[in-house]
Every structure is written in structure tokens, then in C-alpha cells.
Chain A
Amino acid sequence: MDSLAKNITEKKLFENARVFIAPMRTQDVVTLEGSVLGGSNMLPRSLRETPFLASKLFDAGTKKHDKKNLRESLAARGASLSFSAGGDRTYFSGSCLPEDLPFLLQIVEECLSTAVFQPAEISSTRERLLGRLKEQRTDTRTQASNELSRLLYDETHLNYAEKDAFQEKSLKSVTRAQLVDFRSSLGREGLVLAIVGDIDTATALRAVERTFGRLAKGTQTSVLKKKNTKAPMMQEKRISIAEKTNIDIFLGCVVPLTYESPEYLPLSVLTHMLGGSFAAHLMQTVRERDGLTYGIQSYLSDFGKDLEGSFRIWATFSPDLYERGVQTIRKEVKNFLSAGLTENALTQKKEERTGSYVIGLSTTGGLASLLHKIGREGKPLSYLDEYPRLIRALVVKDIRAAAPMINLDRLSLAVAGTFTK
């Protein structure tokens, strides 16, 4: 396979900033994915809604442009821009026509460095977000997923999902001063930026240097992550929500690894073999053979820099089939781990992962997303070509060695929906 990285330019700028420029043969499409250090992990528990609220307000007015002018200037160019909050980082993503890239970068910088957080905007945005939280209370998938996080992690762990009431209280208590403080802490330190599409590398780099050179250095640094203190155990929690026709279930356990651990890649391939695609074991048994569900998947979740995460299975069931469904899942995970980790199954999965990798990188969004991930995770650009080689190099022994990390006897279960009994 041709080198994927050879057409991509990486430039290290400022203080530990990594910028990736990837021209692609697309017409009139430029996609931007980026982030700066600063997120909920750096804040005390009671203030963790601050980055979330701030991210929804970055484009609602800056020192230079009021909300109307700022949004009109984006609309006039057909450009889109959005911000979101994560654990260690504040993210931004956008798209524009090629000639508007310098403008879009300038707006990103302006929002991150001078968003003003007008009280009226804080009030209306907060009201909408509180509405979303209320809406989530009747969302079976969100409720079951959050409940599993509470079953798996202790309350002080960064992956613990706060209860709805706590989140509401925290969101209501965020002040304008806290928003300004958070915004002021963001800067170009640790910036990761991927620009992909119909672009000229030199022009794009010049625009990045000129624009982000104006951004302050920033004061955010990664925090030390505490280990989970909750002991793994088989436990079950039901959340009853009236008048729902479908039940969502999440089954999982904490895996004491980070994405930097050597065991992470074999475990992620094993998880994909179990339930990462239609051809995978769980879809072929629980859905295809038994007809119990429309969808079931297994995946690794919540892993971060120095942060352990979890192995999870998500599935949906009719209320009268869910108990049988859960029993079948437990049985099939056991069957798979004892008999499914074969040479043939691994060979197929390796081919699938490398093939889908090529397809995934054939869109500007797919490539931008991966470059941004490589930058965030501190991997070299050559990892773009290295990943398929690492996958091909895996042997059954590696996968089998990862299997005990899925603790079959201590998988916790969270279920949400309307129960018939």
C-alpha cells in the first residue's frame, strides 16, 4: 500500500502545537478538526459543567464581533464552525470553501481568545442545555449508559457519570466569571490542528501561523489521573422509564489500561472480533441466529491519556425479550472467549480492519479526525502508515493474552426502559 503519510505535512509550531495539512483531491471542501488543552478533567467536580457551557457560547459574541456579526460572517461564506468540551481538551471543528480557510481560522482564534459570554446569552444557552438534560431523563440509551459508568467507577473517578440532578445543579451554578476564567486559561499550548481537503499546504500553514500566533500561550496542563477504587463486581441496575417500547442495555467492566498500553491494540481487535461489525460474533449469534435484537455491539470506551476506561456491550431489546437477550449475551461472550479466538478469525479481522481503514480515510472528515487523534495521543505522523502494519503483525497469542481483561464473572449490567415484570 502506498504511504498515506507522504502527502501530509506536519509542522510543530509554538509551544508543543502540532499542525497537520493534508491536501486531497476534493473540490470546494475543506475540513478542519482541532483542539486545545483545557476541559472538565482540569476542574473540581462542582465546576465540570463550565467547559460544556463555555463551548456552546464561544461563537455567541467576541470582543471584536457581536453574535449577529460573527454568525452572519460565517453564513456569508457558507462556513460552519462548532465547539465542544471534552475531558482534557476543548474541541473545534468546521468546514469552508478553500478561499475562506484563513477567515475560518481567524474566527476560531477569536472565539477561543476573546469570547465575551454576555449574560443574556449565558441565560438562554443554559436554559436550552437544562432542557436537554431533562430530555435525557427519558432517553433509555443515555440513562443506561450513564448508569453503567456509575456502577463501574468510584465517584471521584474522571469517568464517573454524574447523576442528572447533580449535573443540573452544576450547570445552574456556573457564573460568567468562571466562564471567562476557563476561556482565559485556553491557549496554543498543546494545540492540535488537522486541515484536510482542497487546500495548498504553504497557504494553509501561513494562515495557521499568522492566526494562532496571536493566541495566548495558555495555562492548562494535563492533570494526574486517579485510579479507579471501585472493585469490579457483577451487579445490575434497572432504570424504569414509562411508556418505552424498547429497552437499552449496557454490560461492561473497567479495563486497567490506557491507550498507551501495549495490550490496548490487541484488546481493541478482540473487542471488534466480538462485536464490532455485522460479521462479528455477537451480531451473528444474538441477532442473525436468534433474532433477539436489531443491534448489538462491543467497544472500548472512555480511555484517555493516563486514563483507564471500560469494555462495553450495548444492545437493544423488546421488553419481553431482554432477559433472554442478556443471558444469551453472557453465554456468547463466554463461548467466544473460549472458542472464538482462532487464527482464521483473527486473519479475517486483520483484513477487515486494514480495509476499512483505507475506506475511512477516503473522506476529508475521516482523515482529519484520524490526524487529530494522532496529534492528541502524541503519536508520530508515521503512525498513519504504521497502524495497518501493527494490525497485520498481531498473532493469536496477543489476542488470547488480552482476553482475561474482560472479566466475565464481574460484568456489570445497566438497563433502562419499561419493564413488563
Chain B
Amino acid sequence: MAKTKTAIPGISFIKKLDTIREYKLEANGLRILLIPNASAPVAGCMVTYHVGSRNEAIGYTGATHMLEHLMFKGSKNFNKEKRSTIWHLLETKGALVNATTWFDRTNYYEVVPKEHLSLAIALEADRMRTARIREEDRQSEMTVVRNEFERGENEPMEALDKQLWAIAYQAHPYHHSTIGWRSDIEKVSIERLQQFYNDFYWPNNATVTIAGNFNEKEVLKLIAENFGVHPKAPHAFPDMYTQEPKQEGERRVIVKRTGANMVGIAHKIPDGNHPDIPALIVLDMVLSDGKTSRLYKALVDTAKVMDVTIYSYQLHDPGLFMTYATLTPGTLHELVEKRIKKVYAEVIEKGITARELAYAKRAVRVALGHRRDGIYATLSALNEDLATGVWERFVTLPQEINTVTVVDIKRVAKKYLVEDQSTVGWFVTTSH
């Protein structure tokens, strides 16, 4: 890609796609994305690090997430002693401040009244390389994170979801959930977390996205001044090269615990940038989006289940197409599993109608509008595209979805909704 100089020293313009402009901080390789939206006096800053739980291994599962928590404990210039933590400086200005960790990425963000954007940028730049990752903070934060884990374990859906991923993936680190295994949360050492920080938290492994009401030149200047103080990583980033071996046959898992009965079925699908993904997204909508979807009519309308949902993951590496249903009292797991599979089989055999496809495309148009309804919605959606490795899909994917045909849907259903590539999970309640 050709680069051109900008009025801001050290920053090159890379390209413009739709309303998004991409730049690069030449000194250290930091990627910058700007999305102007002057509809409100609000702006947002999100730093996406290209590291997530896929970069963890046995003994330090959950480390990315634990590190995310420790990143709020202060940095060289913003800390408790100076009464300048992110909470004191930004949340007290009304900012929406938080961070999230997922399989392929970790993000930190602030949505602020626009006059405070410079502070958000300064703060994020400081903690990129000078965060305090200390044992005293790990100790108090470990019980916080463990309680977050415990809250998740209280939910049947989360408990079953963890098991489905763990059974569907044996070698690839999608095997473990982002929060990690309990023993690793409790015992991971501060040295391991520091190493994780030093391995991955560098400008050339990050993207800074600014969205909302801002002056482009001023923002680029601020980014250059604040993030430009950091060098690029002195080493190559650790490569996660493990590939999941081919699955050869259906796998099954049962979780027995207090809660509601559930059935989950997961099928392997390709990575988020594979050409079959647009058709899989439409397939997901036809099967589960709204009260006219096939699974809703087959299961909810008939009161066999209380709800049915599909999560069609678009990840950096091959992901899962997962259907979850919560059973009504008295309904048997076997029945619901059979009905879900029957709905799949009908699509594989007969495809979908032109009308269903048209509905799905209309729903996509609505969803696209909502991605621009508020700064956080935009930052969050673009961040997930970044995590797949190709941010441009924020613009191109909707166009690709528009070209999907009924033939494509039948083809991907036949290709991916196959028993040998599936994992079936039942949550069986012990309370009656």
C-alpha cells in the first residue's frame, strides 16, 4: 500500500475507505484509524492490542484478562499517588471507561465529552509501555477476577459454553475461555503477567481508533506526541502456530448442575475472513434472527424452548457456529437436539427461500445503521473486525453480504452443518 506524508510529522496517510481514514505512526508502526461523526459533542478512543486468550497456554490461561485488570492499576504518569488514575481523571468527567478481552484481542476505551479526548489519548499512550504490573495488585485483583469467574459459573449458558469450546478444540487455544481456568486465575505469577505485557504491549501490535466529534489534525498531532515516545517492539511477537487437527466425528459433553436445562450444538466454521463467512452470517439470521426465523418457529412457538440463539463467530482462526436453546420444563434434551438438527437438514436439503434472503438483507441494513448509532457502537464493531486481522471488513463485509444468494446459503449449510464437525452439549439440571 502506498503511503503519503501528512501535515503531521511522522504520520503517514495509508488509505481512506468509506468514512474511515487509516494512518501510521512511522517511528513505531502504530496503526491509527479515524472515524469522524459530529452528530454529538462526544468522542471516543479505543486501543486494540492484537493479543487475546489465543496467545495463552496451560498454566496461564486467563492471563490476558488478568493483565487487562492490572492495566487499571496505574502507569508512570497516571497513578494513585498523583491522584491521576483513569477513574479520577476521566470517569469523574462522565466518561464511559472500560476494557474487554476476547480470543484474539484486548481493548481499552474511553467515550468522553469531546473536550476530554486529549486526556484519554495521553492516558492510553502512557499505559501502553509504563503500566505498573505489580504483585501487590495481582493479589487483590486475583480475588476480583475469581469472583467474575464465579459469577459466570453461576450461569448455565456460560458453564455449557465453556465446555463446548473445550471439547470442540483440543489443540488450539480457543479450547479455553477468555477468563481462563480457576486454578490459573489463582496461581499465575506476576512474572508471567509481566512477560505477557512485555511480549505484546507495543505500538506495532496495536491500533488506536478515534471516533466521533474531533479535529483530525489536532488528534493526529496528539497521537504523534503521546504514542510517538514509544519505540517499536525490539523483538518479533510470539507466534501462535498451533492448528486444530481435523475433527473426525461428533463429540458430546454433559454438564450436570443447578439451573435451566439447555442444549447447545457447535459446528466448526472457517476464520472470519474466509469467503464463506457472509453466507454463514445470512444463514445465522435465517435460522435464528427474530420471531419469523426457522428455529424460533420450530422451537419457541411450539413452547419446546424458552429461547433459541445462534452465535456465528468470526474470529482470527477457524471458529464455531453455535446454537443454544433453553428448554421449557418437561421438554427432553433429545427432542430439542433432534428438532434443531431437523431444521438444519431442511436447509441443507431444500435451501432457503428468496423471501427469507430478502428479510435477512433488510435486517443487515438495519444492523449497519445501528453500528453508527453512538460512538461506542462504532468503536466496538470496528474493533472486532480489527481482531480478525482485516479492519476493512467493517466496510466490505456488508457489501459481500448483499451479494449472497440462496445457492450460497444451501452450499455453506451443506458444507459446515455436518455431524462429523459438530459438538453437542447438554446442560442437565440437578434441581427439579
* A interface residues with partner B (beta carbon < 8 Å): 2, 24-29, 31, 59, 68, 71-72, 74-80, 95-97, 123-125, 127-128, 130-132, 134-135, 137-138, 140, 197-198, 241-246, 277-279, 284, 287-295, 316-318, 321, 348-349, 351-359, 361-366
Contacts and interface: CB of A to CB of B under 8 A. Distances in A.
B39 A24 contact: yes
Given A359-B112, A362-B42, A130 B430 contact: no
Which 6 residue pairs are nearest across A and B when measured between Cβ atoms? A355-B94, A28-B369, A291-B140, A363-B374, A362-B40, A356-B94
Given A128-B306, A131-B328, A76 B39 contact: no
Given A72-B292, A295-B147, 12 more contacts: A25-B39, A26-B372, A124-B303, A244-B154, A287-B144, A291-B142, A321-B143, A355-B112, A356-B96, A358-B94, A362-B374, A364-B374
Contacts of A278: 87, 91, 97
Contacts of B365: 28, 78, 97
Interface stretch (B254-262, B316-324, B341-349): B254-262
A279 B88 contact: yes
B325 to A, nearest CB: 12
Contact of B96 (A72, A279, A359): A359
Interface string B83-106: 000011001111111000000000
Contacts of A365: 373-374
B35 to A, nearest CB: 13
A245 B150 contact: yes
Most buried by A among B291, B326, B359, B430: B291
Contact of A359 (B95, B150, B258): B95
B329 interface: yes
Most buried by A among B40, B370, B372, B429: B40
A357 B113 CA distance: 10
Nearest to A128: B306
Interface in B11-49: 38-42
Contacts of A321: 143, 147
A149 to B, nearest CB: 21
Nearest to B362: A78
Interface string B418-432: 000000000001110
Interface residues of B, number: 68
Contact of A243 (B42, B257, B372): B257
A321 B95 CA distance: 31
B151 interface: yes
Contact of B94 (A97, A292, A353): A353
A78 B143 contact: no
B306 A132 contact: yes
29 contacts: A25-B39, A26-B372, A28-B365, A28-B368, A75-B290, A76-B358, A76-B362, A97-B369, A128-B303, A128-B328, A131-B327, A242-B258, A243-B430, A244-B154, A245-B154, A246-B153, A291-B139, A291-B144, A292-B143, A292-B147, A295-B151, A318-B147, A349-B92, A355-B93, A355-B112, A355-B113, A359-B112, A363-B373, A366-B374
Contact of B153 (A245, A353, A354, A359): A245
Contacts of A356: 94-96
Contact of A294 (B144, B292, B327, B366): B144
Contacts of A293: 144, 147
A26 B372 CA distance: 7
Contacts of A29: 366, 369-370, 372-373
A364 B96 CA distance: 17
B302 interface: yes
A75 B260 contact: no
Contact of B300 (A77, A128, A138): A128
Contacts of A74: 290, 292
Nearest to B91: A279
A346 to B, nearest CB: 11
A268 B429 CA distance: 40
Contacts of B142: 291
A96 B366 contact: yes
A355 B358 CA distance: 42
A362 B39 contact: yes
Interface in B143-198: 143-151, 153-154
A125 to B, nearest CB: 8
A351 B93 contact: yes
Contacts of B377: 363
B193 to A, nearest CB: 16
Contacts of B38: 25
